[in-house]
Amino acid sequence: MVLIFFITFISCVYGVLSITPFINKGQRAEFFELTDNEVGVIRVTLPDKEFITLKRSSNYRGLGTGEMKIQYFGDSAQEYFGQIERIVENLKEINFNKIYPGYNFTEELKELKINVKGYPTINVDKILNGIDTNLYNYYDYDIFYNNSELFPIFLIQSNKNFNLIEIYSVMASLKMTDLSKISRSLRENFISQFQSLYYLIIAPTKYMLEYAELNSDDESCLNYISSTMSKVVKSNEIDGEFYNKIKKILDKFNYFEENFSNNYIDSYEEYNNYEEYNYEENNYGDNINFNEYNNYENNNNYEYYNNNNNDDDNNNNVEDNYSFENDFNYENNNIEGSTGDNEEEFEDYYVDFEFKTKNATMIVELNGEQKNFDKVTFSLGGEYSRTFSKPGFNLKIRGDKELYGRKQFKLRSDCNEATYMRTKIASDIHNRLGIPSVSANYVTLYINGEYMGLYIIMDVYKLSWVEYVYGEKNSTSLYQCNGPSDLTLNSAYSCSNENDDVEIENQEWIDLLTTLDNAQSASDIEKIFDVDHFLKEMALEYLFGSWDHILRHAHNFYMYKQKNGKWIYLSHDFDHDLGQDIDIDFRNHIYVDVPDILYNSKDYFYPDYSFAKWVNDVHIVDILILKDSRRFDKILKDIVRKVFNPATLYPHIDEIKEFIRPYVVLDKTSDAKGKYPGRINKKASDFISLAQWDANVEFTSVKTPDFFGYGLKYWILSKYRYVCKTYGIKCDSTYMNENYKYSINKEVEFHGYYKNISDSSSSITLIETTSSIH
């Protein structure tokens, strides 16, 4: 009852609040102009059974559990070491006289010390002792991001007197006997050696590339390994023949696969699950302590993400050992909104995590009016956002009706970021600059009378949006690029046409990408590509610290061919902009046995990254900006002067903060059962406290369900200062003054992924071992 009264109270008192105009009238659809000063109310009604299905389907995966982000690198290192030991041990079982008849092994493969009978007489203990197992010595190699799959190569090459890659490349080059004529056990043992090395140093890279949906053929894999090794190792530690050595091993592996396909291990996944060899039970599993810092938590030196945040609310919406049976209680039929017909409702036990219905109706209360819609398509929205405790939704009004100039909307909870503002501010900046883009504002949502809380509502790049903005009906030239797509012909099929009637191999799309591939300057594409618009978007992505678009992750954008024949780049999904979770891209995983001191010693202060350092290898960016940045520089300076500055953005942020405050308070307030509005995905643990919201809008960085987010105003200030100095812009002295005062909320401030770690590297011994291995 109290909750209902509070909702009614804020609707009356705060339903309309005047905000200073930030965007010129007529720049957006009428809906977004109306919601500048009023939080609209959307009431969706579904058939009762479909509402139950929606709740079940929402429990997809859980954000905030950390299962993909937090790891002990020592675990992987020790496993790699065990695999290397197995390979070295098994070398002693190969009869080289029988495999390679006619060779003088006092000249060939001298490191193996092959005796007259053909067997290596190597000292395994000495070889393993020669491998550098001190993780500290590898930190400068930058392997703690997506390059960690290359760590076995570093381990192998750390023994300068016994390099397995060199040895196996020689073995791959020597002429073998006819393997079909030797004993099966000898043949399988020999082939398994190449398989083991392949699955240790090559297959993980191919697997990683496949997972990232990148080209993972042999050539691409070898190029990735070689180029990455060249970047992260000192030049004198890798010779020019490295690529050829790896290629020889790969070629020999492929030969065995083609001619002896029934031998031993069939796949990388099977190799990872291979249990015959347990490295923890060998002589070195007990001696080498890669995991010295696994006891951080017991020693109170390590605190997993919960730095200075003791808010009990963090776990109120999380149930241990969650199951659908526990949540919905099938047998007792205790399901919210249930009609009581268990047999019909749950005849299919298995949950379809996709949800979409055309049976929805909708009432919208806005501008003193109530608009009713009888034909509405309602669905769960997003991909990553499907892991949120409070999922997002898609709305499509069918038929002839529209809602103040739009027919399709996206409802975003953005509960992965503390401020509820990053999407809104990024959209408003686009709109203020007159850049064709989506718009954003706020509404509250009810589903079947149940209050779901505050949502960010946006329009969507769909065919209806093209018709509204450009006047083109049923366009065949709108492409969604979910990536990875860097607008090259190689990534042509990473983008899909929004018009289902268009064939996949659309010639105009192929022609665009071919032209972009061949272009060497802006003049080569000016007639078919809106260069100035693209440069504005790139300037914004850089200023926003956007890692989730083309500059880094190569997705979350559309391409549209305008009536004038020029293609235009359309960016969307801004919840990871303006300093949010950048470590996802630059670090990917946090290894808890790599102390924060090393994190701080590296250059991870993202506001001070140059454009060249920020951008990945993108051909169109290279020719339009990196080769000659004058045009880009001018556009960036103009954006900084017009909008990306504290004097312009801070008042706007302040007004929005007060505008949405009562609704944020309500989102952070549980009911009598401890439940929060809209948080129907019980698998997630992404709750952010009211104090964190308040602080992160300002200058305080806070932990997030993934990594951490810079304070919104702090990001703007820091990036503003950097670009003003770097680009020689005459900027506001108030904010350029290093003594500019702002407050930090120490109670919720993010202090790093660890606490109580000394700032002096000399005082920390990263790896201690109980053997002579060092």
* Paired residues of 378 in beta bridges: 357, 395
Q: What is the pLDDT of residue 373?
A: 98
Q: What is the pLDDT of residue 310?
A: 38
- Average pLDDT of the segment spanning 732-741: 96
Q: How far is residue 188's CA from residue 260's CA, in Å, rounded to a whole number?
A: 9
The better pLDDT of the pair 216, 454 is held by 454
Long-range contacts of the stretch 636-639 (C-beta < 8 A, 24+): 636/539, 636/542, 636/543, 636/723, 636/727, 637/727, 637/729, 639/433, 639/536, 639/539, 639/540, 639/543
Residue 292 identity (one-letter amino acid): E
- Cβ atoms of 54 and 460 within 8 Å: the answer is no
Q: What is the pLDDT of residue 233?
A: 57
**Judging by DSSP bridges, how do beta strands 590-591 and 70-71 pair with one another?**
parallel
- Average pLDDT of the segment spanning 403-429: 97
Q: How far is residue 756's CA from residue 771's CA, in Å, rounded to a whole number?
A: 29
Tokens for 95, please give them: 């009869």
Q: What is the pLDDT of residue 596?
A: 46
Does residue 227 have a pLDDT over 90?
Answer: no
Cα–Cα distances in Å, from 71 out to 294, 388, 442, 593?
10, 22, 37, 8
- Cβ atoms of 382 and 370 within 8 Å: the answer is no
Q: What is the pLDDT of residue 142?
A: 55
Confidence of residue 576 (pLDDT cuts 50, 70, 90): very high
Confidence of residue 82 (pLDDT cuts 50, 70, 90): confident
Cα–Cα distances in Å, from 268 out to 255, 272, 759?
17, 6, 40
95-128 per-residue burial string, b: 16 or more CB within 10 A, e: under 16: bbbbbbeebebeeebeebebeeebbbebeeeebb
Could you read off the pLDDT of 36-49 as tens digits, one per residue? 999 999 999 999 99
The better pLDDT of the pair 281, 485 is held by 485
Long-range contacts of the stretch 316-324 (C-beta < 8 A, 24+): 316/670, 316/674, 316/676, 316/687, 317/389, 317/670, 317/674, 317/675, 317/676, 317/679, 317/682, 317/684, 317/685, 317/687, 318/682, 318/684, 318/685, 319/682, 322/59, 322/682, 322/683, 324/56, 324/59, 324/351
- Cβ atoms of 24 and 427 within 8 Å: the answer is no
The better pLDDT of the pair 5, 206 is held by 206
- Average pLDDT of the segment spanning 690-697: 98
Q: What is the pLDDT of residue 592?
A: 64
Q: How far is residue 701's CA from residue 708's CA, in Å, rounded to a whole number?
A: 7
At which residue do the structure tokens 């993972």 appear?
A: 216
User: Of 375, 380, 402, 376, whose CA–CA distance to 391 is shortest?
Assistant: 380
Domain boundaries defined on the chain? 2-65+357-465, 73-290
- Cβ atoms of 192 and 265 within 8 Å: the answer is yes
Q: What is the pLDDT of residue 602?
A: 59
The dihedral region occupied by 609, where left means phi > 0, alpha psi between -120 and 50, and beta the remainder, is beta
Tokens for 404, please give them: 């103040």
Q: What is the pLDDT of residue 7?
A: 54
Does residue 641 have a pLDDT over 90?
Answer: yes
* Paired residues of 454 in beta bridges: 444
Q: Is the N-terminal amide bond of 677 cis, ω within 30° of 0? A: no
Cα–Cα distances in Å, from 298 out to 294, 427, 758, 764, 768?
9, 45, 17, 18, 18
Could you read off the pLDDT of 438-454 as tens digits, one per residue? 999 999 999 999 999 99
At which residue do the structure tokens 């990001």 appear?
A: 715
* 367 exposure class (CB count in 10 Å sphere: 0-12, 13-18, 19+): middle
Does residue 752 have a pLDDT over 70?
Answer: yes
Helical packing angle, 422-432 and 646-667, nearest 10° = 140
Three-state SS at 538? helix
Does residue 281 have a pLDDT over 50?
Answer: no
- Average pLDDT of the segment spanning 149-168: 86
Mean pLDDT (the chain, rounded): 81
The better pLDDT of the pair 325, 232 is held by 232
For residues 681, 682, 686, 687, the Cα torsion angle rounded to the nearest 10 degrees is 110
User: Of 209, 315, 193, 201, whose CA–CA distance to 265 is shortest?
Assistant: 193
* Paired residues of 373 in beta bridges: 362
> Of 10-24, 87-101, 324-338, 365-379, which gets the smallest average pLDDT?
324-338
Q: How far is residue 43's CA from residue 230's CA, in Å, rounded to a whole number?
A: 57
- What DSSP line would sit under 184-205, residue for residue? HHHHHHHHHHHHHHHHHHTHHH
Helical packing angle, 690-697 and 646-667, nearest 10° = 170
Q: What is the pLDDT of residue 171?
A: 93
The better pLDDT of the pair 108, 147 is held by 108
Q: How far is residue 112's CA from residue 107's CA, in Å, rounded to a whole number?
A: 11
List all residues 6 or more positions away from 242 whose beta carbon is below 8 Å from its beta carbon: 165, 226, 229, 230
At which residue do the structure tokens 């109290």 appear?
A: 2
Q: How far is residue 72's CA from residue 347's CA, in Å, rounded to a whole number?
A: 43
Find the radius of gyration of the CA atoms of the chain.
30
Whole-model pTM? Answer: 0.74
* Paired residues of 762 in beta bridges: none
> Of 122-136, 218-232, 532-546, 691-705, which gets the smallest average pLDDT?
218-232
Q: What is the pLDDT of residue 68?
A: 44
Tokens for 331, please give them: 């047998």
Does residue 388 have a pLDDT over 80?
Answer: yes
Confidence of residue 319 (pLDDT cuts 50, 70, 90): very low
Give whichever of 4-8, 205-209, 227-231, 561-565 has the largest mean pLDDT: 561-565
User: Of 548, 532, 549, whose CA–CA distance to 624 is shortest?
Assistant: 532
Cα–Cα distances in Å, from 241 out to 223, 226, 237?
13, 10, 12
Could you read off the pLDDT of 169-213 as tens digits, one per residue? 999 999 999 998 898 888 888 898 888 888 888 888 777 777 666
Q: How far is residue 481's CA from residue 566's CA, in Å, rounded to a whole number?
A: 18
List all residues 6 or more positions away from 523 whose beta carbon is below 8 Å from its beta carbon: none
Could you read off the pLDDT of 615-633 as tens digits, one per residue? 999 999 999 999 999 999 9
* 4 exposure class (CB count in 10 Å sphere: 0-12, 13-18, 19+): exposed
